[in-house]
Amino acid sequence: MAPTDQRVQVPPNCDLTLGMVCTDKSEPGRTTWTMKADERFGNPVGIIQGGFLAAFADSSMGAASVTYAAAQDRKVFSANAEMKISFLKAVKVGSDLTCTAYVISGGSRAAFVEADVVDGDGRLVAKASSTYLLTPRQ
Output helix, strand, coil percentages for the chain, rounded to the nearest 5: 20, 45, 35
Q: Contact 124/85 with Cβ under 8 angstroms?
A: no
Residues 2-42: tens digit of each pLDDT: 555 566 666 777 777 788 999 999 999 999 999 999 999 99
For every residue of 13-36, DSSP letters joined together read HHHHHHT-EEEE--STTEEEEEEE
Percent of the chain with pLDDT over 90: 84
User: Which residues lie closer than 8 Å to 127 by C-beta, 6 or more apart?
Assistant: 85, 86, 88, 114, 115, 116, 117
Centre a 10 Å sphere on the Cβ of residue 9 and count the other Cβ atoms it contains.
8
pLDDT value of position 12: 72
Judge whether 132 and 78 are in contact, CB under 8 Å: yes
| pTM across the whole model | 0.90
CA dihedral 5, 109, 81, 8 (to 10 degrees): -30
Q: Is the pLDDT of residue 132 over 80?
A: yes
The whole-angstrom separation of Cα 78 and Cα 122 is 29
Rounded percentage of the chain residues whose pLDDT exceeds 70: 93
List, in order of start, the domains of the chain with CATH numbers.
14-136 (3.10.129.10)
